[in-house]
Structure 1
């Protein structure tokens, strides 16, 4: 499993495994902004995790989650994602690329935790960065299947929001990257059924961008030596979407 148990304890434990080295480096480097130092961000994250634990206990003990409680969960969850991004940025500035990537990668389980508790995902770009890194790292079909399933979960949670203004405008670019990344993950899995599902989603959600995607996909098939079964699916969608349309 990509995330053994996807809960706040897992996120907190991973954060606490990464943060101390960055805090130590920040103290040695004498980070000037006390409100945006690794130490301050570490403390802010610990406070946030406590608040989220209290809030989720309240939500789960109530007969029905209220709009106010879910909005608060969305707001605090979004703050958590931004704290992780800030920490990642500071780690990069301290020339700690591994810790920077690992901290940004925590935005993916945080995003999944938010949507699984009926919250809204309001910051998407770092989550997509994490998803893309995992896609580049994994090679086994079972791993890519898991990653594909997570991308489906994110897209299904985000789709209703993408029908609303101003969310649709604000998140249009990262949303399109998420949908295309899902199709890329499916293609790399070499599983025709997943590829078909992902391509249908792509055509439905991004019809204007689908033709370029399938044209580029055809170019990659021979260059990357994809299996024949995969090539056949890509060629099918290329023939449907990728060729210039003419009027008759």
Structure 2
């Protein structure tokens, strides 16, 4: 599964998804959230992201200073701006149809990966978290689940300090919690012990209050689903380390 940002692919997908709404909307230069203006703004954002990709491609041969490479804060701002444009278009379509457009929302994943791979930070993860959860429900092959888990790890690693502070712990559906729990679940389903350990260590660090219940329920799933012995060994080890008190899988 390749969720990498490709300017041409991303542009085509965005255009193809919104084209039907352009015909129904009058061009309104005064409304920045009109589909025509959102499309124009997205094209500009894609161009900026493509230039950053081109710069990165030759980074090995030139210093960042001599090239004028974008700084972390610039990457973060570009990524957030692009996600804001996506969200605005999702809202426009939902207002017209009464439904959220899944294809638009899923474009948040390559944008988030672009930010992560350019060293930026993510300050808003609702859309990519929802999209990654949907992908997880559609995939059953362990090797594809391993790829998906690797993507989730990149998103987690790119989350900014505000998200990591996890101040809304009373909200059980907060994106940070869902993201980390899904990382653990999807990694378990990949059947790859090393990947599972990475995810479990991240869960302990990022959601210590959920770790005990997670490992307890994970162990129960070993018999229900019939996981391989090497997976069971990892789950048993973490369950033993984190106790047996207090459904996630």
* Matching of residue 27 in structure 1 with residue 25 in structure 2: yes
Deviates more, 1:174-183 or 1:133-142: 174-183
Counterpart pick for 2:34 among 37, 50, 53? 37
* TM-score between both structures, scaled by the size of structure 2: 0.78
Alignment of 1:131-150 (within 5 A): 131-150=132-151
Query: Cα offset for 1:167?
Result: 6.4
Partner of 2:203: 202
Partner of 1:90: 92
Partner of 2:9: 10
CA distance in 2, matches of 1:114, 1:192: 28
Query: Cα offset for 1:228?
Result: 4.5
Contact 1:214-1:238 at 8 Å conserved across structures: yes
Partner of 2:178: 177
Query: Cα offset for 1:88?
Result: 1.8
Q: Which consecutive unaligned segments of at least 5 residues does structure 2 have?
A: none
- Residues 110-164 of structure 1 deviation map (CA, whole Å, 9 limit, x = unaligned): 0101121122212111111111111111111121111111112222333xx33xx
* Matching of residue 47 in structure 1 with residue 44 in structure 2: yes
* TM-score between both structures, scaled by the size of structure 1: 0.78
Query: Cα offset for 1:43?
Result: 1.9
Contact 1:81-1:107 at 8 Å conserved across structures: yes
Q: How many positions carry a matched residue from both structures?
A: 235
Contact 1:74-1:119 at 8 Å conserved across structures: yes
Alignment of 1:183-222 (within 5 A): 183-222=184-223
Contact 1:183-1:202 at 8 Å conserved across structures: yes
Structure 2 vs 1, CA of residues 213 and 69 (structure 1 numbering), >3 Å: closer, same or farther? same
CA distance in 2, matches of 1:174, 1:86: 19
Query: Cα offset for 1:244?
Result: 3.0
- Residues 207-244 of structure 1 deviation map (CA, whole Å, 9 limit, x = unaligned): 22211222333444455x23242444333322322413
Counterpart pick for 1:75 among 74, 77, 81? 77
**Runs of 4+ more than 3 Å apart:** 51-62, 65-70, 169-173, 218-223, 230-233
CA distance in 1, matches of 2:75, 2:122: 10
CA distance in 2, matches of 1:236, 1:55: 44
CA distance in 2, matches of 1:197, 1:58: 31
